[in-house]
Structure 1
């Protein structure tokens, strides 16, 4: 004989209501990894100050993650330029990159002249993590710093140049990056020394030649990379000591960016602008075109990133 359950046991359980005002639940954003002090932002000449022509740009800016590596380049300009002429040289380089090479903007994130002046390169915001076009296959999660000049046949590199390159790396690199260490990056382009999808272990502060078939940044500047790494360590140690003395919490220096998967606070900005998915290579032109090596005309011509900066940057359009 079948047992008959009381109706009360067959009824669906209903969550009891609670009287009173509604409970406010704060939506917390994902916590980024703990960040230590990096270094203060150095003085940087903005694009507006050197006269960049933003009307040449037609593509939206793409952002990436905090730089895990800094790639050092040279632009190939003659070394005997006058530093007063640098803004005009940058304007000519932008014209060449956009109109001559078919790219959307300068490829380097920052350019440093021999007098140590730092210039904002690719558009998108000095304090933002802008996806550059400086190191084929490894533009994501990296920063490109270019020395304005060739510096291949000099006995001594300008001290202000080295100091400024180090100051950018000390400030811009992720606080989790060890300037004396190495990092694992994955290639996004077959034109580099590493096939697309291949992981490469490179120095956190590396030269362009470590990734691409090129002589860049020239032997003297490449040989100076260990000194630049030591300078970055010293700058970050000074920043940490200053933070300890002032009692500041161990937060990062200027330039911090939300996690790649974090939605922006500003509702007018799209989540895609932060690279929540892996950003496409910039510019969108045919990657099999195969322009000349961006920095070294003597090096072999290789296929390149669509927006890879050109070697032809002599200050003459």
Structure 2
């Protein structure tokens, strides 16, 4: 999800334990911007201290440039560069990292690299690049700020359980280092909680948990951790759930099994309470999460909880940006709350979030190919979701841009019904190798619909 142009389950962390490396600036430390607290728990819900996960936010604005000469132990050119560096810091455990700054309209022009220390073994990783241009984004004026302006942000990177971090920032023009880095830079370290968190179910009436679960009625009972698969005949009834005429026969793929937000352990108190809907879904935009491929299928729920917390707490979005996510084993997950059969407004393709749904495959597919189970699951999910509005996956559909870096606001664009992110925004997303699979995905989805 990289443009060619420059885009706490629980309470905030306190100061880190005093350990041999330099101490961390925690959210409550002097000079650090506090991480907003979740709303107070409703009747019968878990208290903040019962909910797993946290976000540490380290200020980076005051880092002094450090002159480096010679090779920098990575692919950087062997020449003098003005580098701003956060020295190795021992921190509280985390698994996902990203960098944010104050103004989403200001690009990060340069390179961000991270290395981390594995919790348990104490081994340091090599330097890894963080994708500095994150292009998943809400539409302008969509009100994603939850009362605060949306922040600029890099793509997050999944690094696995870690307890120390080192960061290197290299401006695109090292001679102008003080002026080219955005204001308010912060390193966000996200702990998604345990790999298998306790399932809290639907919650009592009136709670965010209950509302999220109820949005999927009657596809699954309250508190369900998954929406079961249904054959093609039974799936015809889903059309009325999506708002279509009851009893209307359409070409629709069999409903695949979908893990609900309760199933992947979403803390519903993090997101904004309201659900926002768009027009009937007539297009799918395919993404990769750009979080890397170093995760196991058992860790996929943790990766999703990390993305959720990063989108909401760090980037100031209403909820996780994607409508659905798919892991390398082909498991499908509910993303943004509001009901999997409904036209929930996402924050995934700036300019074309209206009338579309965003499906992200967990991973990075610029150089690595997506797994066969993941691509097959993409076709089955698209066949079902597009079938709810009677849409042919092989077709094109007119969409009006709300403004982006590829199409101006108000321009009508004939988009593929199944498009890659790069079809609506100037970006590398969903990665060259996943994008190359989309023609076959369109054909497979049409077959699943019986066309």
Smaller-chain TM-score bracket:
0.5 to 0.7
Cα deviations by residue, 1:109-135 (Å, 9 ceiling, x for unpaired):
000001100000000012222111111
Question: Aligned equivalents of 1:39 and 1:66: distance in 2?
Answer: 17
Matches within 5 A, 1:32-111: 35-111=249-325
Q: Which structure features the higher share of strand residues?
A: 2
TM-score by length of 2: 0.44
CA contact (8 A) 2:252 2:390 kept: no
Question: Aligned equivalents of 1:105 and 1:158: distance in 2?
Answer: 27
Question: Aligned equivalents of 1:176 and 1:50: distance in 2?
Answer: 30
Residue of structure 2 in register with 1:16 after alignment: none
1:220 aligns with 2:433: yes
Question: Aligned equivalents of 1:73 and 1:119: distance in 2?
Answer: 14
TM-score by length of 1: 0.62
CA contact (8 A) 1:67 1:141 kept: yes
Question: Aligned equivalents of 2:330 and 2:376: distance in 1?
Answer: 7
Residue of structure 2 in register with 1:193 after alignment: 406
CA contact (8 A) 2:251 2:390 kept: no
CA contact (8 A) 1:42 1:168 kept: yes
Number of equivalences: 208
Question: Aligned equivalents of 2:409 and 2:322: distance in 1?
Answer: 21
Moved over 6 A (4+): 29-33
Q: Report which structure shows greater RCO (CA 8 Å, sep ≥6).
A: 1
Residue of structure 2 in register with 1:180 after alignment: 394
Matches within 5 A, 1:1-317: 35-154=249-368, 156-174=369-387, 175-188=389-402, 190-237=403-450
How far the C-alpha of 1:178 sits from its partner, in A, is 2.1
User: Aligned to 1:125, what secondary structure does the other structure show?
Assistant: coil
Cα deviations by residue, 1:210-244 (Å, 9 ceiling, x for unpaired):
1112100000000000110111011011xx7xxxx
CA contact (8 A) 1:57 1:104 kept: yes
Change (3 A) 1:31 1:39: closer
Question: Aligned equivalents of 1:216 and 1:32: distance in 2?
Answer: 37
- CA RMSD, Structure 1 to Structure 2 (Å): 2.0
How far the C-alpha of 1:192 sits from its partner, in A, is 4.1
Residue of structure 2 in register with 1:14 after alignment: none
User: Aligned to 1:62, what secondary structure does the other structure show?
Assistant: coil
Question: Aligned equivalents of 1:128 and 1:236: distance in 2?
Answer: 19
Q: Which structure features the higher share of helix residues?
A: 1
User: Aligned to 1:233, what secondary structure does the other structure show?
Assistant: helix
Question: Aligned equivalents of 1:62 and 1:234: distance in 2?
Answer: 31
Residue of structure 2 in register with 1:15 after alignment: none
Question: Aligned equivalents of 1:234 and 1:30: distance in 2?
Answer: 22
Question: Aligned equivalents of 1:168 and 1:30: distance in 2?
Answer: 18
CA contact (8 A) 1:66 1:173 kept: no
CA contact (8 A) 2:281 2:355 kept: yes
User: Aligned to 2:269, what secondary structure does the other structure show?
Assistant: helix
CA contact (8 A) 2:322 2:359 kept: yes
Change (3 A) 1:198 1:177: same
Question: Aligned equivalents of 1:140 and 1:234: distance in 2?
Answer: 26
Structure 2 unpaired stretches of 5+: 1-242
Question: Aligned equivalents of 2:288 and 2:412: distance in 1?
Answer: 25
Structure 1 unpaired stretches of 5+: 1-28, 241-317
User: Aligned to 1:54, what secondary structure does the other structure show?
Assistant: coil
Question: Aligned equivalents of 1:144 and 1:229: distance in 2?
Answer: 15
Question: Aligned equivalents of 2:273 and 2:442: distance in 1?
Answer: 34
Change (3 A) 1:75 1:56: same
